């Protein structure tokens, strides 16, 4: 946790194109901020040129309207540039979001007064290699998943930690997760829930067959190498984005990133546990209370 008294003056307002009511809400927020003398840029999440503006330092804060997926994308954009993110929840879960849709007018005065703190979330760096050549490199907020493709057959996943052999999983997939991702796919696969401030790498196998079925928590300084052995399709997927295909012998290196996602928080640091129980008792993505 880092205290902050910085009052933002240039804010990007970013919304998911498929989020219900996002465009209308973004316009309302822009109008409100402009009336307060704040310079704003209203944008769709995947708008061409947005990342260039962020990298050029044109904003000192980003407001993300949507759900947790929107926050993941915002983290990818903002973390390397050290730009804080304020999440306004228009989605279902909102594990990462700070403000409800009907709440932002109440908390914005606190934002202008610098009455908030910045929560630092560890990120991972993942890199895909084929025959020694790098095919892709990503910043990761939730998790890296290496596993099978469309064929419902397990793959062999050889795991090394700091170049030392750990084990070979015969499984649908192996998840390398942050503490942030521990409440996402890793939790669905039976992994532990980690407090968001922890800076560890969590390994969780998915449907392991006669393999280690326990999650393993590694230190921040560890490097995990996952090598695929398979006669059929395998993939690597970063934070739920479009998967990249892997061939047998390909490997993915995962280590702690040099960047951290910074989330604007108005609640006290105990918010995580208060919010966890309601989410666990009723999955909001079902769309109804049963």
CB atoms within 10 A of CB 122: 22
In whole angstroms, what is the distance from residue 42 CA to residue 30 CA? 7
Marked catalytic residue, from 68, 172, 239, 250? 68
Helix (H, G, I), strand (E, B) or coil at 182: helix
Helix intervals (H) in the chain: 22-35, 50-55, 68-78, 104-112, 185-188, 271-281
In whole angstroms, what is the distance from residue 273 CA to residue 165 CA? 36
Angle between helices 104-112 and 22-35 (to 10 degrees): 40
In whole angstroms, what is the distance from residue 76 CA to residue 81 CA? 10
What's phi and psi for 76, nearest 5 deg? -60, -40
In whole angstroms, what is the distance from residue 44 CA to residue 180 CA? 24
37 sits in the region (left: phi over 0; alpha: psi -120 to 50; else beta) called left
Cα-based distances in Å from 62 to 11, 37, 45, 140: 5, 16, 11, 18
Please give the DSSP secondary-structure letter assigned to residue 256.
Answer: E
Q: Could you confirm whether 172 is annotated as catalytic?
A: no
The catalytic site residues sit at 68
């Amino acid at each position: 946790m880092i205290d902050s008294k910085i009052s933002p003056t240039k804010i990007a307002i970013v919304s998911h194109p498929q989020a219900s009511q996002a465009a209308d809400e973004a316009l309302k927020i822009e109008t409100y901020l402009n009336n307060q003398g704040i310079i704003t840029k209203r944008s769709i999440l995947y708008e061409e040129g947005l990342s260039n503006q962020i990298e050029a330092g044109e904003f000192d804060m980003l407001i993300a309207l949507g759900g947790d997926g929107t926050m993941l994308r915002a983290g990818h954009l903002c973390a390397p540039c050290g730009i804080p993110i304020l999440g306004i929840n228009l989605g279902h879960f909102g594990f990462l979001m700070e403000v409800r849709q009907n709440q932002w007018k109440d908390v914005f005065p606190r934002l202008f007064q610098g009455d908030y703190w910045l929560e630092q979330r560890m990120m991972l760096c993942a890199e895909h290699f084929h025959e020694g050549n790098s095919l892709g490199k990503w910043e990761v907020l939730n998790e890296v998943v290496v596993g099978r493709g469309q064929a419902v057959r397990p793959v062999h996943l050889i795991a090394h930690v700091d170049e030392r052999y750990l084990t070979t999983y015969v499984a649908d997939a192996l998840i390398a997760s942050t503490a942030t991702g521990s409440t996402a796919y890793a939790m669905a696969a039976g992994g532990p829930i980690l407090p968001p401030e922890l800076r560890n790498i969590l390994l969780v196998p998915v449907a392991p067959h006669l393999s280690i079925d326990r999650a393993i928590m590694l230190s921040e300084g560890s490097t995990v190498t996952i090598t695929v052995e398979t006669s059929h399709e395998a993939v690597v997927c970063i934070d739920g984005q479009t998967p990249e295909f892997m061939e047998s012998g390909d490997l993915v290196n995962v280590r702690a990133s040099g960047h951290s996602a910074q989330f604007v928080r108005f609640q006290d640091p105990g918010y995580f546990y208060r919010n966890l129980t309601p989410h666990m008792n009723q999955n909001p993505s079902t769309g109804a209370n049963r």
